[in-house]
Amino acid sequence: MTGRPADARMQAHLEVLRLCLHAYLVRLRAAWTRPPGEGGGAEIEGVLAAVGLRADPARAEVDSVRELVERARAERRGPLAAIVESLGLELGEECLVAAAWWADADPQLAVALGCGHDDAGRRHASAPLLRLLLGPFGVTVPPVVDDHGPLVRFGVLESAAGGAEALRLTPTARLVLGEAPVAPLPDVTPLPPRLAGARAGLAAHLAAGPTGPVVLRGPAGVGKGALARAAALDAGLVPVGSGRPVAELRLLARLRSAVPVLPADEAAQAGWTAGDGPLVALTTERSAAIAGYVVDVPAPTRAERVSAWQCALAELRVRASPEQVQAIAARFAFTEEDIAETVARARADAAWRRLGIDVDAVWAAARRQPEHALDRLAALVRPAFTLDDLVLTDEAHEKLRELVAHVDLQHVVLDGWGFRRRLPRGQGVIALFAGPPGTGKTMAAEAISAALRQDLYRIDLSAVVSKYIGETEKNLAAAFDEAERASAVLFFDEADALFGKRTEVRDAHDRYANVEVNYLLQRVETFTGLVILATNRQAALDEAFLRRLRFVIRFEPPDRDFRRALWRRSFPREAELGDLDWDSLATAELTGGNIQSAALAAAYLAAANGGVVAAEHVEHALRREYEKLGKAWTGLSAGGAG
Ligand SMILES: Nc1ncnc2c1ncn2[C@@H]1O[C@H](COP(=O)(O)OP(=O)(O)OP(=O)(O)O)[C@@H](O)[C@H]1O
Ligand SMILES: [Mg+2]
């Protein structure tokens, strides 16, 4: 209990309880001390005398209780009056609340209540006892406190308080009645300055009166929680979170002393009504689970990101050119919270490695920043290759470099030159890598992301494609959203499985497959990053899809010159090579993938037999590779033939 003395209204209730209890106990004692009748034990006589016993107060006693009750009801100040008024409680209900409070606060009363129950173990208030005590004074108390009554629904009494059980105040009711402060939501993230206008608007809205739910909608980490918190405090209300049961949140909201700030789905389950008072629901979804007044909290614009990064870099004492700031702001579609976390991470990295922080370190921290949900749906590929590792035609090389330049210069063209305004959709880049297996498509995707200094996320089709209707889109949506937020390159290997032709609808399954393609088409249009699709079967891709491709890069099976180059590269420098005839190896019609795996197999053979990779090891490995491909091995031709 708290140290504060109870208010006048509550004090008056204590007097009422004392008088009524006194009258009852006096009657009880009189019944018990009558001389025992014939036969039977004194105990049974006592019980019989107590059955049906009610206080029989004198006129004067009834008058003084009535006067006390009137005095209590006239007192409009203090927390009890506030609860009674805002919940519209009847007098009997009010008496239950007061009794629950005093049973805790006044030990003497508690003892007397135990006597009233004729059970020293039950030194608490209960609805049936209070009904018995107050009835003779003209105060009607409900016989039970059930879950549907206002006392439980509005979080004043604990729910288990039905029947003869102890009436217990909820922790929140106890705080309120004791006039102790309710702890606000912790202040974890600062409010981005750009949300000052929204803060003032929301504060005015909350202060205006009972409004029902307000839905703050926006991407994760834009500061919705910080906004709700700040606005509530400005409106003179305490922001409270889901740490309390809904009923208690309702009590605080109805008292107009607090605003619950909840995730939208929790708020929806709470069944909030406008009569319950203000509530702020937070959601990242377009269609929130709860109806209410919707306020959009957008992600920072690029210009806002630039200034947030400027502050962040200044805070880290990192010197960066305006171009570097522009580039980092353009590449990482971060919220202020993400940026703040990146700063913290860069600091921790620097302390850990005992190094200074420069722009590259910040970039590296930014790459590792979002703890995104992408990991569930996609595999992070740490690029092991560079563009120079690829053996490809000049044309393919040129296109790959163009692709890198295109993504790198997006902020110049789209933002600097204002193309973004012209292109509400299609700002991102979709590239298709098409070609037979083992021609370097996956490798090129890695090399591209390495060149862009971004992460590569390979979408795991088995994790994304769900047999549950609608789940696949949901998973894909999450993958796209997260990739956008993390500025990762999204890589769909075997894209034909997902982006395949929309079929004529034949059965239900086809229909869902079409839904997926339609969703993908539309999401890819609005995606702002880089998506790479790889396929062995370009012809299987949906035409509408092909039309949206910014880059199509074909990976042809290597010709003989390329095969020679591939063979030479297939053995790392450390491997000791015997006398290998590169020209003759190049005659075998294999792809880079086959060559790499033959070279690896040869290396194992060599390691087991002398340690030097000799021609016979390679030939043996080649024969195996042919077997795997189901092709007849006829031996190597001489280098010149072909
Ligand atoms: N053009 C190439 N240049 C250099 N190495 C290559 C090339 N093509 C293939 N390789 C080698 O073959 C390996 C396999 O290639 P990669 O996985 O990129 O093929 P892919 O086209 O993605 O095949 P799949 O269609 O089967 O997925 C690479 O790791 C690399 O060692
Ligand atoms: Mg591949």
Is ligand 1 within 6 A of the CB of residue 155?
no
Span 318-344, average pLDDT: 86
Alpha-carbon distance of 383 to 488, in angstroms, equals 12
Is ligand 1 within 6 A of the CB of residue 443?
yes
Classify the C-alpha dihedral 532-533-536-540 as positive or negative. Answer: negative
Instruction: State the number of CA atoms in the 13 A half-sphere of 119 facing the CB.
Output: 10
The sheet with strand 429-434 has its strands ordered as: 378-381, 456-459, 489-492, 530-535, 429-434, 551-554
Average pLDDT, the chain: 85
Q: Is the pLDDT of residue 136 over 80?
A: yes
> Quick count: other Cβ atoms within 10 Å of Cβ 613?
23
Is ligand 1 within 6 A of the CB of residue 283?
no
Pick the CATH number of 560-629 from 3.40.50.1100, 1.10.357.10, 1.10.8.60, 3.40.50.300: 1.10.8.60
Max mean pLDDT among 169-178, 454-463, 572-581 falls in: 169-178
Q: Is the pLDDT of residue 505 over 60?
A: no
Could you write out the DSSP letters of every residue in 358-370? -HHHHHHHHHT--
Backbone angles phi, psi at 8, to 5 degrees: -60, -40
Max mean pLDDT among 186-190, 489-493, 496-500 falls in: 489-493
Mutate to test the pocket of ligand 1, among 395, 399, 439 (most ligand atoms within 8 A of CB): 439
Q: Is the pLDDT of residue 570 over 70?
A: yes
Q: How far is the CA of 390 from the centre of ligand 1 (A)?
A: 9
Q: Is the pLDDT of residue 40 over 60?
A: no
Span 520-549, average pLDDT: 82
Q: Is the pLDDT of residue 446 over 70?
A: yes
Which pLDDT does position 528 carry in this prediction?
81
Q: How far is CA 189 from CA 241, 285, 339, in A?
A: 15, 21, 12
The answer to whether the beta carbons of residues 88 and 109 sit under 8 Å apart is no
Cα R_g (the chain), whole angstroms: 38
Give the contacts of 580 (CB within 8 A, at least 6 positions apart): 567, 613, 614, 615, 618
3-state secondary structure of 215: strand
Span 414-428, average pLDDT: 77
Mutate to test the pocket of ligand 1, among 390, 537, 596, 597 (most ligand atoms within 8 A of CB): 596
The answer to whether the beta carbons of residues 157 and 98 sit under 8 Å apart is no
Pairing assessment for the beta strands 378-381 and 456-459 based on DSSP bridges:
antiparallel
- Residue given tokens 């059965």 in the structure block: 507
Which two structure tokens, joined as six digits, stand for 568? 């030479």
Is ligand 1 within 6 A of the CB of residue 587?
no
CA angle 98, 100, 106 (to 5 degrees): 85
Which two structure tokens, joined as six digits, stand for 219? 């991407």
Q: pLDDT band for position 146 (50/70/90)?
A: confident
Q: Is the pLDDT of residue 603 over 70?
A: yes
Q: Which residue has the higher pLDDT, 493 or 164?
A: 493
Q: Is the pLDDT of residue 381 over 50?
A: yes
Q: pLDDT band for position 134 (50/70/90)?
A: very high
Which pLDDT does position 539 carry in this prediction?
79
> Quick count: other Cβ atoms within 10 Å of Cβ 141?
22
Total number of residues shown for the chain: 642
Which pLDDT does position 356 carry in this prediction?
82
Q: How far is the CA of 631 from the centre of ligand 1 (A)?
A: 20
pLDDT digits (tens, 9 = 90+) for 451-473: 998 888 888 676 666 666 667 77
Alpha-carbon distance of 489 to 383, in angstroms, equals 11
Q: Is the pLDDT of residue 235 over 90?
A: yes
Which pLDDT does position 260 carry in this prediction?
95
Q: Which residue has the higher pLDDT, 190 or 43?
A: 190
pLDDT digits (tens, 9 = 90+) for 422-440: 877 777 888 999 999 999 9
Which pLDDT does position 640 carry in this prediction?
47
From the list 532, 538, 540, the residue with the least C-alpha distance to 430 is 532
Which pLDDT does position 87 carry in this prediction?
94
Which pLDDT does position 504 carry in this prediction?
52
Is ligand 1 within 6 A of the CB of residue 563?
no
Span 107-126, average pLDDT: 90
Which pLDDT does position 338 carry in this prediction?
86
The answer to whether the beta carbons of residues 252 and 260 sit under 8 Å apart is yes
Q: pLDDT band for position 1 (50/70/90)?
A: very low
Is ligand 1 within 6 A of the CB of residue 590?
no
Which pLDDT does position 391 carry in this prediction?
95
Which pLDDT does position 93 carry in this prediction?
94
Which pLDDT does position 554 carry in this prediction?
93
Q: Is the pLDDT of residue 641 over 50?
A: no
Which pLDDT does position 192 carry in this prediction?
87
Which pLDDT does position 294 carry in this prediction?
87
> Quick count: other Cβ atoms within 10 Å of Cβ 21?
21
Q: How far is the CA of 382 from the centre of ligand 2 (A)?
A: 15
Q: How far is the CA of 84 from the centre of ligand 2 (A)?
A: 70
Is ligand 1 within 6 A of the CB of residue 570?
no
The answer to whether the beta carbons of residues 117 and 126 sit under 8 Å apart is yes
Could you write out the DSSP letters of every residue in 345-399? HHHHHHHHHT----HHHHHHHHHT----THHHHEEEE-----GGG----HHHHHH
Q: How far is CA 372 from CA 190, 275, 321, 377, 602, in A?
A: 21, 38, 29, 10, 41
The CATH class, in words, for 379-554 is alpha beta
Residues with CB under 5 A from ligand 2 (ion): 441-442
Which two structure tokens, joined as six digits, stand for 529? 């990053």
Q: Residues 609, 612, 613, 617: what is their CA dihedral angle, to the nearest 10 degrees?
A: -20
Q: How far is CA 344 from CA 123, 186, 585, 635, in A?
A: 55, 19, 53, 61
From the list 115, 110, 108, the residue with the least C-alpha distance to 32 is 115
3-state secondary structure of 491: strand
Instruction: Say which amino acid occupies 76.
Output: R
Is ligand 1 within 6 A of the CB of residue 374?
no
Is ligand 1 within 6 A of the CB of residue 438?
yes
Give the contacts of 358 (CB within 8 A, at least 6 positions apart): 318, 319
- Alpha carbon nearest to ligand 1 atom 18, residue: 440
Q: How far is the CA of 630 from the centre of ligand 2 (A)?
A: 20
Q: How far is the CA of 438 from the centre of ligand 2 (A)?
A: 7
Q: What share of the chain in percent tops pLDDT 90?
A: 43
Span 328-346, average pLDDT: 85
Q: Is the pLDDT of residue 216 over 90?
A: yes
Alpha-carbon distance of 272 to 264, in angstroms, equals 11
Span 26-46, average pLDDT: 71
Span 65-70, average pLDDT: 92
